[in-house]
Amino acid sequence: MPQCKKTAIHRFPALFPTSVCALNNVMSQPREKIATESYNSHYQGVDEWPLRQMIDALLDDQTRSLQAVRAAVPMLAAAAEAAARRLEASEKGRIIYAGAGTSIRIGVQDGTELTPTFGWPASRVEHMIAGGAIALSQAIENAEDSAEDAIRRVTELGVDLHDVCIAVAASGVTPYTVAACRSARNAGALTIGIASNPHSPLLQTAEFPVFVNSGAEPVSGSTRMNAGTAQKAAINMLSTAIMTRLGRVHDGLMVNLIPTNEKLRHRAVSIVATIAACPEPTARQALESAHEAYGGVTENNIKLAILLAKGLPLEQARSLLTRHHSHLRPILAALTSNF
C-alpha cells in the first residue's frame, strides 16, 4: 500500500471533511490534471501571433469565464441569503475573506469597498491573508502552503458563529485557504468556498461550495486571468446580494452610503431626492437635519433624510428605522398605504 505524503492535511485531519489520503491525493496529483493548471493548446504559438489576434483571443477567454459563472448563480443566491440572515442576527457578525495570492487580493478589494459603498462598518470586515498584509503587494514564497498560519489566524480573529467566511482559491487545493475555511466552519462560522476545480478540497469543505468553471488559462497556471475574472464577478455578486438583502440597497441606490467627500455628498442629495420624490434643495436640507440628529455622518443619514424629506417628524422617522432594522422598503410601503 502506498503511504500518504505527510502534509498540512495529514497533520490536521480534523480540519478536512473527507479522508486524509483522499484529499492528499487530490493535492499531490500532477498539476496538469488540475483544470486551472492544465495546458491550453489553443495558445500554442501565441508568442508569434499579431497582438491584435492575441488580445481578441484573451477577450474571448475572459468572456467565457464570465459566462461560466452563470451556472453558479443558484449557489451564490443561496449563500447570500444565508449570509445575510447570519449577519443580521447579530451586530457583531463579520464578513471574513480568506485566501492567497490573486484570490485574496480580489477578496481584500471587495471587503475594502463594502464601507464606502454600503456603509458596512469597517470593524465588521476582516481578512485572512496567506503571508500577511505584505503579500498583497509582493509574493511571499510558501505562504499558501501553511495550514498552521491559517489556523492561527482563525484563532487570532476569534471567529465564531456570528461570522461569515468567504474562502477563495482558484485551484481549490491551497492548504492555507482550505484550512482557514474548515477551521472557521469548526468555529461555527458560515462558510462559502469559491474555486474553479470541481470536487476540490475547498468545495468539499465549505458549507456553500461555489464552483466557477473558468477552465484552462491562456497562460498556463496564471489564474489572475480567467479564474481571477470569474472570482471577481462571483464575489461582486455575492457581496452585493448580501448587502441588498440587508437593506443597504434600495431600487439600485446606495441608501447606506456615507457621504464623506463632495462627490458623495452630491450623490447623497440625488439619492434622497430620487426616493423621496422631492426637489434637491429639500433633499439637501433633510440631509443636514439628519446630520445634526446623528451628530455627524453615519450610515443611516440618507435613510433618515429620505423620511424627513417625505414629511415625517424626526423622532417618528428614527423610531421607524429602529423598528424595521433600517430597512426602507417596509417603511415606505406603510407610508404609501396610509395615503
Give SS3 for 82. Answer: helix
Active-site entry in 37, 126, 144, 299 = 144
The answer to whether 202 and 181 have CB atoms below 8 angstroms apart is: yes
Chain position carrying cell 434600495: 250
Chain-centre distance for alpha carbon 219: 26
3-state SS class at 243: helix
Distance, CA of 293 to CA of 300 (rounded, Å): 11
CA distance 238 to 11: 33
Active-site residue, 91 included: no
At 111, which amino acid appears? G
The Cα 275–Cα 272 span in angstroms is 5
Residue that has been written with the C-alpha cell 501565441 in this structure: 46
With cell 459566462, the residue in question is 67
Angle at 190 between CA 102 and CA 78, to 5 degrees: 85
Whether 144 is catalytic is yes
Name which of 125, 103, 105, 130 is nearest 114 in CA terms: 125
Catalytic residue among 81, 113, 148, 207: 113
Strand partners of residue 164: 95, 190
Q: What number of other Cβ atoms are within 10 A of residue 55's Cβ?
A: 11
Distance CA 115, CA 85 (A): 19
Catalytic positions, please?
113, 144
